[in-house]
Amino acid sequence: MSKPWYLYILECAGGRLYTGIALDPEARYKAHAEGRGAKFTRSYPPLRLAMVETFASRSEALKAEYAVKKLSAAEKWKLVGKAGR
């Protein structure tokens, strides 16, 4: 049985959201916070792990990531439970 993959959304500085996938979202958050993550999170450091969702495979997680990235900012904020941003 393969390890689960996770879709995660970070709340970042400047009221921004970052979406990604990882095998270990806590470790990935730490990497972002230490400046070892994506270029985006070096410009807008993460404040918290706003959402994590589990998927059975990397493929499923990638599909979910793609769908989330197509959402508007308002829809993403609603997804993480902070409407009205």
The pTM score is 0.91
Q: For residue 47, name the pLDDT band (cuts at 50, 70, 90).
A: very high
**Strand-by-strand arrangement of the 46-55 sheet:** 16-22, 5-12, 46-55
State the distance between the two ends of the chain, measured CA to CA, in whole angstroms.
Answer: 40
The Cα 9–Cα 48 span in angstroms is 9
Mean pLDDT of 39-59: 95
The Cα 85–Cα 16 span in angstroms is 10
Only one residue has tokens 């270990």, namely 24
The Cα 15–Cα 26 span in angstroms is 20
The per-residue pLDDT for 38 is: 87
Query: Topology of domain 5-79, per CATH?
Result: GIY-YIG endonuclease (3.40.1440)
% residues pLDDT > 70 (the chain): 95
Mean pLDDT of 36-59: 94
